Amino acid sequence: MSEFTEHHQKGVEAFTKSLEHKRQTCHDCGFEDTVLDSEWQTHVETEPRSGHICYRLTCPDCNGTETIEIDI
């Protein structure tokens, strides 16, 4: 594995680990769960120019939507 690939993999692992514990609350009904591995219906978009990742979460209880933007 190249040094770049190794550093990239470590960065991905650190990023994922930081999201594992991030919680989001639905502002419409109060549902709360973690962003990853949860009941939220998740759609992920990336914006290569700005370096942002946008998580669009749909609440399983009321279908309300929440958006989380992460600057990488």
* Domain extents in the chain: 3-71
Q: Which of 21, 22, 58 has the alpha carbon at shortest distance from 40?
A: 58
State both tokens at 41. Answer: 């219906």
Q: What is the dihedral of CA 57, 60, 65, 68, to 10 degrees?
A: -30
Mean pLDDT, the chain, as a whole number?
Answer: 85
- pTM higher than 0.85: no
pLDDT in tens, 28-55: 999 999 988 899 999 998 877 777 888 8
